[in-house]
Structure 1
Amino acid sequence: MKKINLIAFLLLCCCTTTIFAQKNKNFDIIAYYTGDDKMINEYEVSKLNQIIFSFCHLKDGKLSVDSPKDSTTIKHLVSLKAKNPQLKILLSLGGWGGCEPCSAAFSTAEGRLTFAKSVKEVSDYFKVDGLDLDWEYPTIEGLPGHLFQLADKTNFTELIKILRSTLGKKYELSFAAGGFQKYLDESVEWKKIMPLVNRVNIMSYDLVNGYSKVTGHHTPLFSTTPTEESVDKAVTYLLKLGIPAEKLVIGGAFYTRTWKNVENINNGLYQSGQHIEGVSFKNFATTYTEANGWKYFWDDKAKAPYWYNESTKTFATGDDIASIKAKTDYVKSKKLGGIMFWELPLDTTRNGLVNAIYEVKTEK
C-alpha cells in the first residue's frame, strides 16, 4: 500500500512539474521591431518568443511590404528561427498613422477578402508565422484626419473572421488594442473576435500621450484614481468580459513621454506642461542623471517611475527595470499570455528591459 502511494505521489509530482512547465511556456516575450537585418543581430533573440516586423501597409487594398530593404529584413528575421526554435515572426499592418486606408478598405466583403488573400500570399512567400493588426483605431478617432466610422466595429469582426478562415489554424493572428477605456468600450466586439485570434496585444502605454497638456503616468501598472488608465484597469475589464487570461498580453514602453514648462508641484506629476520628444531606455543612463539635474521618483501605488528636472522644469514618465519587473510579476500572477513592448531598438542590447522580463519570467 505504501509503495503504491509513493508511486502515485511521484506521478503527481511529475504531472505537476509538466503542467508548470507548460504554463511557463505560455508566457511570451513579444518584440515590435522597426530595425533592419543588421541591428537585430545585436540583441539576445534567444530571450524572445515573437518578433513583430513593423510595419507593412495597404497598397491597393493588399498587404504590402514597403521596400526591398524591408523584404531583406523580414527574410533575415525568419532565418533566426533556425537557431531559436521558440521564435515566431509576424508581420504587422498599420501602426500609428499607418492605417489611413483601413476603414475604407475593410468596409466591404470584397475588400476584406482581397486583403485576407494577400496576407496568405505574403505570409507563404516569406514563411512568416502570422499577422498582427495594428489599426489605430476602428470606430474612434486615431490620427487626426484619418477616416473612422461606426461600421468599423462590425467590419473589424468580419475582417478577423475572413482572415482566420483564409489563413486556417496554422497562422498566428493577433491585434494591437488601445489600452484606454474608450477603445475598450467602443472599438471592437470582444466576445466575437477573441475566439478567433491567438492574442490581443494591449497597448497599455501612451495612456497619457502627446496630445495631453497635463503630465501623468503614461504606462502605469495600476490606477491611482478611479478614472486613471492603467494596465490593470484594461486587464480587469477584459477578464470580466470572459476573455481567457492566456490571450491577454500587456504592453511595456521602452521610452519616456516628456513635458516641459512643468512647475515644481508634486515633483511635476499631474501638472500642466507642453509635450516634447521623449528618451529611449538605452539612453536613460546618460540622460536621467543627477548631474543633468534629474531626480528619480517611484509611485508605489501605480508601480511606475517618473523623473523631474527642477532646473529645466521638465517631467518624464515611462518604464524602467523596476516597473517592467513589476509588470512581469503581474503577468505571472494573473496567468496572462505575456508582455509585448514598443520597441526592441529602444532597449540596451544587454542587461536591459528584455533581460529584466526574461529573468523574472524564468525565475522559480
Structure 2
Amino acid sequence: MKTVSLFLLVALMSLVSLTVKAQSAPRPTVIGYYSGDSVKVSRYPVEKLTHLIFSFGHLRENEFFLNKRKDTLLLQNMVALKKRNPSMKVMVSLGGWSGCATCSPIFANADNRKVFARSVKKALVDFGADGIDLDWEYPAIQGFPGHAYSPDDRANFTALIKALRKELGKRYEISFAAGGFTEYLEKSIDWKQVMPMVDRVNLMTYDLVSGYSTISGHHTPLYSTAAFPQSVDRAVTWLDSIGVPVNKLVLGAAFYARIFETKDTLDHGLNRPASFKRGLSYKDFRGLTDSAGFTRYWDAKAQAPYSFNPHTREFASYDDSASIALKTKYVWQHHLNGIMFWELADDKESGGLLDVIDETLKKLF
C-alpha cells in the first residue's frame, strides 16, 4: 500500500512540475508561409498563427520588389487579416527555391546591401508589415540549378543581416529560412555572428530527400535513421552543439507530400532506387488513401509516416496529424522558439494540420 501511495505521489509531483513548466514557458510561435490565392487566404484560421509570411518578394536589381498585379493585393489582404488576429505578425519573404538568382552577386556589394535594406523598410512601412524573412537558397553552396554562388556568400549574408538590422532597428523582425541539411548548416551561415542580430531562424527541415534524389526516403523525418541521417533532430542537435540559442530555432514541417516512383516494391518502397514524380498538398491527401491503392506505414525510428502503392510503385513521404503532433511536442520538450510550415495554401481550410498544431499546444499550455 505504501509503495502504491509513493508511486502516486511521485506521479502527481511530476504532473505538477510539467504543468508549472508549461505555464511558465512562453507559448511557441506558429508560423505559416503563404504563396496562394489573395482571396483564399482569408478562409484559413489565421487566429491560430503568430506569424504569416508573404511568399515571395523579388530582387529587382538591388531593391526589394513586389509584382503589382499579384503580390501587392496578396500582401494587402494578409495585413488586413491582422484585424482578426491583432497579435499576428505579417512578414515579407525574399527569394524561395527559384527566387534568388542574383542574390550572390548583388549582396556582395555593400552599397547594394544598404539600398536593399532601405527598400525593405519602405515596403514594410507602406504595407504595414512587421518584418522580413530571407529565403536565400543557398549562400555559399549550390542551390537552384544555374544560380550563382560563392564562398564569400557566407560573410556577405552576415553583412546583409547587419545592414537590415541597422536600417530596421528594433521595430521590425528579421528571420531567415535555413536549409535543414548538413552542408547548409556547416557552410552557408556564420551562426555566431548572425544569430544575435535575428529574431529567429526557420529551419527548412523538409525536402531533406529532394526532387533530385535517386533514392526514396522520408523528406521530413523527426529523427535520423541508419539509412538517412538528415532529420529535424539532427539539425536542432547540431545547432545546439555549436552554441546557437535553441529559443531562436523554429522547427519546419511539411503540409505536402513528395511522391517518388520506385524501381521495385521491396520494403514498401522505403529507401529504394527511385525518381521524383510529383508533389501533393495535404488538402488532397485523399489521393493517398486505401481506395487509391496506397497503404500507410509508420517508421518508428524516424517517427514519420509514409505510404506505398505497390501497383504503381509510388512511394509518398509526408507529415500527417500524427507526425505534426509529435513535432509540436518536440518544440515544447526542447524549448524551441516554435514550429513553422510550408505552406498554408496546402492545408485544409478547416480540420487541417494547423488545427492539429493548435490543439496540441492547447494540451501543453
TM-score normalised to the size of structure 2? 0.92
* Conserved 8 A contact 1:161-1:196: yes
Counterparts of 1:283 and 1:195, CA distance in 2: 40
Percent identity over paired residues: 47
Map Cα deviations across residues 107-153 of structure 1 (whole Å, 9 max, x no partner): 01111111011111111111100000000000000011100001000
The residue aligned with 2:72 is 71
CA drift of 1:20 comes to 4.5
Counterparts of 1:309 and 1:357, CA distance in 2: 28
**1:113-152 paired onto structure 2 within 5 Å:** 113-152=114-153
The residue aligned with 2:203 is 202
Question: Relative to 1, partners in 2 of residues 1:114 and 1:22: Cα closer, same or farther, differing over 3 Å?
Answer: farther
Counterparts of 2:19 and 2:127, CA distance in 1: 37
Amino acid corresponding to residue 217 of structure 2 in structure 1: G
**1:1-364 paired onto structure 2 within 5 Å:** 20-21=22-23, 23-25=25-27, 27-225=28-226, 228-284=229-285, 286-364=286-364
Question: Relative to 1, partners in 2 of residues 1:100 and 1:232: Cα closer, same or farther, differing over 3 Å?
Answer: same
Question: Relative to 1, partners in 2 of residues 1:17 and 1:214: Cα closer, same or farther, differing over 3 Å?
Answer: closer
Question: Relative to 1, partners in 2 of residues 1:109 and 1:206: Cα closer, same or farther, differing over 3 Å?
Answer: same
CA drift of 1:19 comes to 7.7
* Conserved 8 A contact 2:209-2:216: yes
Amino acid corresponding to residue 302 of structure 1 in structure 2: A
The residue aligned with 1:3 is none
CA drift of 1:37 comes to 2.7
Question: Relative to 1, partners in 2 of residues 1:236 and 1:317: Cα closer, same or farther, differing over 3 Å?
Answer: same
* Conserved 8 A contact 2:262-2:272: no
* Conserved 8 A contact 1:33-1:343: yes
* Conserved 8 A contact 2:227-2:271: no
Counterparts of 2:124 and 2:103, CA distance in 1: 19
* Conserved 8 A contact 2:216-2:262: no
* Conserved 8 A contact 1:36-1:70: no
Runs of 4+, deviation exceeding 2 Å: 16-25
CA drift of 1:85 comes to 2.0
* Conserved 8 A contact 1:262-1:314: no
* Conserved 8 A contact 2:262-2:269: no
Residue 339 of structure 2 aligns to a residue whose secondary structure is: strand
Amino acid corresponding to residue 51 of structure 1 in structure 2: L
The residue aligned with 1:7 is none
Residue 238 of structure 1 aligns to a residue whose secondary structure is: helix
Counterparts of 1:75 and 1:194, CA distance in 2: 30
Amino acid corresponding to residue 163 of structure 2 in structure 1: I
* Conserved 8 A contact 1:262-1:315: no
Amino acid corresponding to residue 316 of structure 1 in structure 2: A
CA drift of 1:188 comes to 0.6
Question: Relative to 1, partners in 2 of residues 1:328 and 1:60: Cα closer, same or farther, differing over 3 Å?
Answer: same
CA drift of 1:56 comes to 0.2
CA drift of 1:80 comes to 1.3
Map Cα deviations across residues 180-213 of structure 1 (whole Å, 9 max, x no partner): 0000000010010000000000000000010001
Counterparts of 1:52 and 1:235, CA distance in 2: 22
CA drift of 1:69 comes to 2.6
* Conserved 8 A contact 2:42-2:81: no
Counterparts of 1:309 and 1:24, CA distance in 2: 43
Please give the root-mean-square deviation of Cα atoms over the aligned residues, in Å. Answer: 1.5
Amino acid corresponding to residue 236 of structure 1 in structure 2: T
Amino acid corresponding to residue 334 of structure 2 in structure 1: K
Question: Relative to 1, partners in 2 of residues 1:290 and 1:221: Cα closer, same or farther, differing over 3 Å?
Answer: same
Counterparts of 1:323 and 1:140, CA distance in 2: 30
CA drift of 1:226 comes to 7.8
Question: Relative to 1, partners in 2 of residues 1:328 and 1:17: Cα closer, same or farther, differing over 3 Å?
Answer: closer
Please list every run of 5 or more consecutive structure 1 residues that lacks an aligned counterpart in the other structure. 1-15
Amino acid corresponding to residue 85 of structure 1 in structure 2: P
Counterparts of 1:19 and 1:333, CA distance in 2: 10
* Conserved 8 A contact 1:309-1:315: yes
Counterparts of 2:329 and 2:21, CA distance in 1: 19
Amino acid corresponding to residue 160 of structure 1 in structure 2: I
Counterparts of 1:291 and 1:36, CA distance in 2: 30
Counterparts of 2:25 and 2:36, CA distance in 1: 31
Which has the higher mean CA deviation after the structures are superposed, 291-300 or 132-141? 291-300
CA drift of 1:329 comes to 0.6
Please list every run of 5 or more consecutive structure 2 residues that lacks an aligned counterpart in the other structure. 1-17
Counterparts of 1:88 and 1:137, CA distance in 2: 25
Counterparts of 2:150 and 2:78, CA distance in 1: 36
